[in-house]
Amino acid sequence: MRPAVIPAALLILAAACSEGSGSLEGARLQVTGCGGEGGERIFEQFRISFCSFKFDRERGPLFIRAQSHGQVSSGADELGLVIDDEAAFREWYAENGAAPVEVGTPGSPVRGALLLADTCPGSFDSLVLSGGEARFKALGRVPGDRVRVILEGLEITDLRSQRVVGEDFGGELDFVIVGRWPSSR
């Protein structure tokens, strides 16, 4: 049996993607303008893997960003989670631990968005997460601390058309905070 030959570009990508793990997946996602002029593309068994993570708590709200590859503003697919009032959420978290919290509903402390800059470079859909739950299994504060979030039962909504384009999405983000924004991963 011949040994596998791995192109150097893949080795570089693998090195850039050793910061943690994460994914978001669902049975079906419908995206407008993906790969064409105004048309729609339907993804069956949609899945994104994330390997680069940013954790920003210095600019107001707590912002967690997961990317499909490691460069800032690199045209990567991205999942963003925002906690508007970090202090209030940490107080709730101290009392409730990994209890589920709603995502993207009115009054919810957690909002989320999805950008498909790599999968659909021509798409400008404003995709938001709602209707599901996030369970924060770990919510670190400083470099060396772990962040682990499990997402379940999410809907993905196109804000421009106000229609649900993906249902019952779930996933997980699991990484250790390294450094400060934008170098924190």
- Give the model's pLDDT for residue 113: 96
* Number of domain units in the chain: 1
Residue 182 in domain = no
Residue 20 in domain = no
Residue 76, token pair as written in the block: 């990567």
Residue 9 in domain = no
Could you identify the residue written with the tokens 């910061």? 19
- Note whether 167 and 155 are within 8 A (CB): yes
- Give the model's pLDDT for residue 59: 64
| Domain extent at residue 167 | 26-176
Q: Report yes or no on whether pTM surpasses 0.85.
A: no
Residue 77 in domain = yes
Residue 3 in domain = no
pLDDT along the chain (185 residues), means of 10: 31 48 95 74 93 80 88 78 92 92 93 92 82 94 92 94 94 87 42
DSSP string, the chain: -PPPP--HHHHHHHHHT-SEEEEEEEEEEEEETSSSSS-EEEEEEEEEEE-EEEEE-SSSSEEEEEESSSSTTSS-EEEEEEES-HHHHHHHHHHHTT--EEESSTT-SEEEEEEETTT-TT----EEEESEEEEEEEE--STT-EEEEEEEEEEEEETTTTEEEEEEEEEEEEEE--SSTTT--
Residue 150 in domain = yes
- Give the model's pLDDT for residue 1: 34
Residue 184 in domain = no
Residue 91 in domain = yes
What is the Cα–Cα distance from 86 to 95, expressed in whole angstroms?
Answer: 14
- Give the model's pLDDT for residue 57: 75
- Give the model's pLDDT for residue 32: 84
- Give the model's pLDDT for residue 109: 93
